[in-house]
Amino acid sequence: MKTLITETKSVFSKKYGTEPVWLVAAPGRVNLIGEHTDYNDGFVFPMAIERYTVIAAGYSDAAGADIYSINKEESATIKLDGSATPPQTVVWSSYIQGTIQNVVETGLCPKNFRAVINSNVPLGGGLSSSASLEVATATLLEAITGQKIDPVQKALLCQKAEHLYAGMPCGIMDQFIAALGREGYAMLLDCRSRVPKMIPLDDPNIVVLIINSNVKHQLTGSEYPDRRRQCEKAARLLRVPKLRDATLQQLGAAQSVFEKEPDGNICFRRARHIVTENKRTVATAEAMIRKDWNTCGRLMYESHTSMRDDFEITCTEIDILVEIAKSTDGVIGSRMTGGGFGGCTVSLVEASKAGKVSETIAEQYSTKTGIEPAVFTTRPAQGAMILENN
Ligand code: GLA
């Protein structure tokens, strides 16, 4: 993060001729297991990663906020007076505007400011670059106003920004871990009670390896909301409030009810993924407490198979990455992470073999697909923070 901070501060002072007053950061995340379970009131098991969105900011005389993105090489003017409305077309600054609007609506009144934003969370790579941007923005407003927002509330405000200003009906996982992640810990989150349980992930013999497939398939664009609807329908057919409340026995007993529906088979398989994934997620956290890495690894592979066959959110390139991982010495478990249709895999790897594992997987993947992946290891990182408040 050091280089990222230095670059951000230097662009700020070059652009505005003064040092920033505030400096904040919020991380991206990787989800170890528990995919698409969050909006079903289930369990997720993410951790913050050592990739951040950083914002340097200072006072301004002009009305509103003038924000420059180093990644996009573009500026945007943001309203701070609570008069913003959701955009017709979503652009990078929509996430910022949405977050600021929601924070202002809670009663915080930020002064006019100008800011430079910089991120090394891969954009659109399934590591929650957008949640890190939203949570960094909310954290900046806390620094500017000197008022703390309850972190769970903060995650919810950011999620609402994503719903209303980015048109993405996401669950709570990404914003929650970006706001509340803790260095050295993965987080088992019960998305119904919103009570996190921090699980140490600090065994020096284990590293978390992230491999970006560098593909993102835009199919119809409605894959995520479609999955949400199918899960809601399955819950209705099962007569439970959310799929979190269903068991595998209940699902089996309701097979004939599903068969009467035109999309019954699909909804049945979606529900089977969620019901089994919730169990796997809790079991993985329990196994991690015991440092039972083989069980963690097996559950990760099972999760991938379930996402591939029942939830149908993987893609050829990602399946290839997991297959290669499975046959590579030193890999304990591997699966796709995030919303799906590309992005990254997450693997648990024996630390002493991590270098060789990275090389082998990258080489075989590019031979098989013609695409160069991006590979990096990470330890569980700290959630959002105010780094400077001068
Ligand atoms: C996206 C969403 C999350 C979650 C994951 C899938 O990252 O933002 O809320 O649903 O997909 O687990």
> Measured between alpha carbons, how far is 358 from 212 in angstroms, rounded to an integer?
11
Residue 186 lies in a domain: yes
Question: Per DSSP, what are the bridge partners of residue 66?
Answer: 77, 114
Average confidence (pLDDT) over 242-251: 98
pLDDT of residue 350: 98
Q: Atom 11 of ligand 1 has which residue's CA nearest to it?
A: 339
Q: Determine how many CB atoms are found less than 10 A away from the CB of residue 244.
A: 20
Is residue 50 assigned to a domain? yes
CA distance 213 to 335: 12
78 CA from centroid of ligand 1 (Å): 27
Is residue 219 over pLDDT 80? no
- The letter for the amino acid at 164 is L
For ligand 1, atom 8: residue with the closest CA: 170
Ligand 1 center to residue 36 CA distance, Å? 6
Q: Which two tokens stand for residue 69?
A: 């993105």
Among 36, 134, 162, which residue has the most ligand 1 atoms within 8 Å of its CB, making it the best to mutate? 36
Q: Is the dihedral of CA 43, 133, 215, 89 positive or negative?
A: positive
Task: Domain of residue 99: give its range.
Answer: 2-200+383-389
Tokens of 244: 């979190």
Contacts of 231-238 spanning 24+ positions with Cβ under 8 A: 231/36, 231/39, 231/40, 231/267, 231/270, 231/271, 231/274, 233/261, 233/263, 233/267, 234/258, 234/267, 234/268, 234/270, 234/271, 234/274, 235/40, 235/271, 237/261, 237/264, 237/267, 238/271
On whether residue 254 sits in a domain, the answer given is no
- Relative to the CA of 339, which ligand 1 atom is closest? 11
Tell me 315's DSSP state.
-
Beta-strand relationship, 206-216 and 342-350: antiparallel
Looking at the domain assignment, is residue 34 inside a domain? Answer: yes
Q: Write the pLDDT tens digit of every residue in 94-106.
A: 999 999 999 999 9
Given the CA of residue 173, which atom of ligand 1 is nearest to it?
9
The strand pairing partners of 47, in sequence order, are 30
pLDDT at 220: 73
Predicted local distance difference test score (pLDDT) of residue 218? 73
Give the number of other Cβ atoms within 10 Å of residue 131's Cβ: 30
Residue 309's pLDDT band (cuts 50, 70, 90): very high
Residues with C-beta less than 6 Å from any ligand 1 atom: 31, 35-36, 38-39, 128, 170-171, 173-174, 338-339
The predicted pLDDT at position 102 comes to 98
Let me know if residue 339 belongs to a domain: no
39 alpha carbon – ligand 1 mean position (Å): 8
Residue 203 predicted with pLDDT over 90? yes
d(CA 320, CA 157): 37
DSSP state of 142: H
Q: What is the pLDDT of residue 327?
A: 97
Structure tokens at 73: 């090489």
Average pLDDT over residues 325-347: 97
Query: Is there a domain that residue 169 lies in?
Result: yes
Do the beta carbons of residue 319 and residue 308 sit within 8 Å? yes
Return the pLDDT at 243.
98
So which residues are the catalytic ones? 174
In a domain, 43, yes or no: yes
CATH number at residue 105: 3.30.230.10
pLDDT tens readout for residues 101-133? 999 999 999 999 999 999 999 988 899 999 999
As a whole number, the mean pLDDT across the chain is: 97
Q: How far is the CA of 380 from the centre of ligand 1 (A)?
A: 19
Which atom of ligand 1 approaches the CA of 34 most closely? Answer: 12
**Token output for 227:** 């999955």
% of the chain exceeding 90 in pLDDT? 97
Structure tokens at 132: 């890190």
136, 23 Cβ separation under 8 angstroms: no
User: In angstroms, rounded to a whole number, what is the distance separating the alpha carbons of residues 360 and 354?
Assistant: 10
44 CA closest ligand 1 atom index: 12
Classify residue 116 as left (phi > 0), alpha (psi -120 to 50) or beta.
Answer: beta
Lowest mean pLDDT among 87-101, 131-145, 186-200, 218-232: 218-232
> Tokens 């209303």 correspond to what residue?
164
Residue pair 99/106 in contact by the 8 Å Cβ criterion: no
Tens-place pLDDT, residues 26-72: 999 999 999 999 999 999 999 999 999 999 999 999 999 999 999 99
Asked if residues 208 and 192 have their Cβ atoms less than 8 Å apart, the reply is: no
Distance 194 CA to ligand 1 centre (A): 15
| Nearest protein Cα to ligand 1, atom 5 | 339
- At 125 the pLDDT is 87
Is 209 part of any domain? Answer: no
- Cβ–Cβ < 8 Å for 16, 64: no
Q: What is the pTM of this model?
A: 0.96
Residue 217 confidence (pLDDT): 81
CB 303 within 8 A of CB 342: no
Amino acid (one-letter) located at 276: T
Give CA–CA dist 158/172, Å, rounded: 9
The structural domain count of the chain equals 1
| Residue 281, token pair as written in the block | 């997620």
